[in-house]
């Protein structure tokens, strides 16, 4: 039987947009190491290929979770809604310069879709979307330079706009082909535009990522079946077989051939602000350092800057609004990137900022992960690598994150890292496990002790039903208070305090000595203390630890040892 001819699309609708995003994620995942290798700067804002992959991977997870709450199972969200959610997600998951610029390209695309209120995009709409995306990407960078992803985006958008204007009937497939061909040529030209790229004999890493994004769109539009790309294949023309030897590393920045530059990368999200204060922040940060990006929408802004004084950069954020998810990276640590084969480190997942602070205070690398925003295997692998330790213990602190943690552990093996996952099913088990971690002990001893501590911790939770469902305690309805023990709902009630008290009693049993109470972001201020006080009436010698976890959905997480 003859093979069916490919179905060439005449427009991009919601399902094909989703296929495009998935194809791009696959392309980034396959080429991440190759793109990382193109970076000629000692501090490439975390590696470009990895940043692109993790940004899009996390954004797809976040957008999918948001859409699942808005759309009936099995249905596709409208294109406008899908683009809006992807744009929001990209802003929040963006990593490094490349991730932030990628988020702005998606935001520009989304802006055009929303502006047109379009259910689908034809060639004219796509050309306009590429132009809008390019405009936002250039606006995001305080000192834009030729020879980067920006010049590749500009050349591509201009070529598509010109083709559509001279031939209004151009098909979507032909326009996408123009985009890919132009981007490929513009990418090759970046080597001539930046001396630092010419010396290394490579093309721009961010521009390579932009080309992959367009190639993914081309495969979807032209109806090319998904393929498994060979991760060992290298693109001809992206790097010379034997690039010139450099006597010193080059630095990301204009005229930085002497290898000098700011010592720190500072990134944070900013809210509770306005356009005027953001503009003042942008001006202030421009005087402190370089590689400045301040982008955002709908009240949330993503800030990225390279500085010598990270404290001043954070203080500027405090003056402009509320900075959070603050990440400060010392470039010297990134440049060395050496693995201490004897060191043992811990990576811990946290569903709330308060829980994260507890883990950070204990010296762990912390990954935000919880209902609606669970960490991907890529994010966990990234965290494992940042420890620079040869032995790493991962605390998923959530049953639904355990498989991602196991996948990350397996992915770390080729790099010579020994990674073990302790089966902590909730934050209180992770806290108990971390309490027995011993830096002086070896990996297997620590894993055994931590696993035993986690298993010995009885855990419970209190939450509110968001839909009708059948539980082990019977049918629950929207608004019911649910109490869980060891992951199973065992109480349905109407009073938050009463249900919490009952769960504590069940967990304490006859031998409970230590109660850990982790209050959530929606918990009444007196809930934790009231529950503990009630328990102490019966157990005067009960030791209680309070943590303001700020986790979503669960007003209380409880643990008993």
Question: Domains in the chain, ordered, with CATH?
Answer: 14-222 (1.25.40.340), 264-334 (3.30.70), 339-456 (3.40.50.510), 458-560 (3.30.1180)
Mean pLDDT of 201-218: 88
Report the candidate in 87, 18, 14, 29 with the shortest Cα–Cα distance to residue 376: 29
pLDDT for residue 159 is more than 70: yes
Rounded to whole angstroms, the Cα distance separating 411 from 397 reads: 20
Q: Quick one: tokens of 212?
A: 């992959």
271 has which bridge partners?
A: 322
CB 249 within 8 A of CB 41: yes
Question: What pLDDT shows up at residue 233?
Answer: 54
Question: What pLDDT shows up at residue 43?
Answer: 31
302 has which bridge partners?
A: 269, 295
Question: What pLDDT shows up at residue 70?
Answer: 80
Residues 289-342: pLDDT tens digits? 877 777 776 678 888 888 888 888 888 888 888 888 787 776 655 544 567 888
Per-residue CA distances from 300 to 81, 94, 269, 323, 328 (Å): 18, 13, 7, 10, 19
Q: Quick one: tokens of 79?
A: 């294109």
pLDDT for residue 251 is more than 50: no
Alpha-carbon dihedral of residues 128, 134, 139, 143, nearest 10 degrees? -160
Share of the chain above pLDDT 90, in %: 27
Rounded to whole angstroms, the Cα distance separating 240 from 460 reads: 58
Mean pLDDT of 125-133: 90
Residues 408-464: pLDDT tens digits? 787 788 778 899 999 999 999 999 999 999 988 999 999 999 999 999 999 999 999
Report the candidate in 207, 103, 88 with the shortest Cα–Cα distance to residue 145: 207
Mean pLDDT of 338-348: 86
pLDDT for residue 375 is more than 80: no
List of residues 6+ apart from 136 with CB closer than 8 A = 104, 105, 107, 108, 111, 295
Question: What pLDDT shows up at residue 237?
Answer: 62
Rounded to whole angstroms, the Cα distance separating 328 from 187 reads: 31
Q: Quick one: tokens of 414?
A: 């080729």
Confidence class for position 234, pLDDT limits 50, 70, 90 = low
pTM of the model: 0.53
Question: What pLDDT shows up at residue 231?
Answer: 45
Rounded to whole angstroms, the Cα distance separating 344 from 293 reads: 35
Residues 467-509: pLDDT tens digits? 777 778 888 888 999 999 988 889 999 999 999 899 999 998 8
Residues 161-179: pLDDT tens digits? 999 999 999 999 999 999 9
Rounded to whole angstroms, the Cα distance separating 238 from 206 reads: 12
Average model confidence (pLDDT) across the chain: 81
């Amino acid at each position: 039987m003859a093979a069916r001819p490919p179905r060439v699309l005449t427009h991009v609708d919601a399902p094909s947009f989703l296929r495009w995003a998935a194809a791009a994620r696959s392309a980034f995942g396959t080429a991440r190491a190759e793109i990382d290798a193109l970076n000629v700067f000692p501090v490439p804002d975390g590696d470009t290929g990895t940043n692109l992959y993790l940004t899009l991977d996390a954004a797809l997870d976040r957008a999918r979770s948001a859409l699942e709450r808005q759309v009936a199972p099995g249905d596709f969200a409208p294109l406008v809604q899908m683009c809006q959610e992807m744009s929001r997600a990209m802003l929040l998951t963006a990593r490094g310069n490349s991730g932030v610029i990628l988020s702005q390209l998606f935001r520009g695309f989304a802006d055009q879709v929303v502006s047109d209120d379009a259910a689908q995009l034809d060639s004219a709409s796509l050309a306009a979307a590429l132009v809008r995306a390019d405009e936002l990407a250039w606006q995001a960078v305080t000192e834009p330079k030729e020879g980067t992803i920006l010049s590749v985006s500009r050349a591509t958008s201009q070529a598509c706009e010109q083709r559509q204007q001279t031939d209004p009937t151009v098909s979507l497939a032909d326009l996408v082909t123009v985009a890919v061909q132009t981007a490929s040529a513009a990418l090759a030209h970046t080597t001539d535009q930046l001396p630092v790229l010419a010396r290394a004999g490579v093309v721009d890493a961010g521009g390579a990522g932009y080309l992959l994004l367009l190639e993914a769109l081309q495969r979807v539009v032209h109806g090319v079946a998904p393929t498994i790309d060979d991760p060992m294949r290298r693109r001809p023309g992206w790097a010379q077989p034997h690039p010139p030897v450099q006597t010193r590393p080059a630095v990301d920045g204009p005229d930085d051939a002497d290898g000098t530059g700011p010592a720190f990368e500072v990134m944070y999200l900013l809210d509770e602000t306005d356009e005027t204060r953001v503009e003042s922040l942008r001006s202030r940060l421009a005087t402190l350092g370089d590689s400045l990006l301040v982008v955002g929408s709908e009240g949330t802004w993503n800030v990225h800057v390279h500085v010598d004084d990270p404290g001043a950069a954070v203080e500027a954020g405090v003056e402009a609004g509320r900075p959070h998810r603050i990440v400060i990276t010392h470039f010297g640590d990134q440049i060395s990137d050496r693995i201490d084969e004897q060191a043992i480190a811990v990576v811990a997942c946290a569903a709330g900022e308060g829980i994260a602070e507890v883990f950070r205070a204990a010296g762990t690398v912390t990954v935000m992960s919880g209902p609606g925003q669970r960490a991907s295997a890529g994010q966990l692998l990234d965290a494992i690598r940042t420890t620079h330790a040869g032995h790493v213990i991962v605390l998923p602190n959530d049953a639904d994150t355990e498989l991602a943690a196991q996948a990350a552990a397996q992915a770390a093996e080729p790099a010579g890292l020994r990674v073990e996952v302790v089966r902590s099913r909730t934050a209180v088990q992770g806290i108990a496990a971390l309490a027995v971690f011993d830096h002086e002990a070896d990996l297997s001893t620590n894993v055994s002790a931590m696993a035993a501590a986690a298993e010995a911790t009885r855990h419970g939770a209190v939450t509110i039903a968001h839909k009708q469902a059948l539980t082990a305690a019977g049918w629950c309805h929207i608004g019911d208070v649910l109490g869980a023990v060891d992951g199973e709902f065992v109480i349905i009630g109407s009073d938050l305090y009463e249900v919490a008290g009952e769960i504590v009693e069940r967990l304490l049993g006859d031998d409970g000595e230590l109660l850990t109470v982790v209050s959530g972001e929606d918990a009444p201020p007196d809930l934790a203390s009231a529950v503990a006080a009630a328990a102490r009436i019966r157990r005067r010698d009960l030791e209680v630890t309070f943590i303001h976890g700020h986790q979503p959905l669960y007003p209380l997480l409880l643990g008993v040892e």
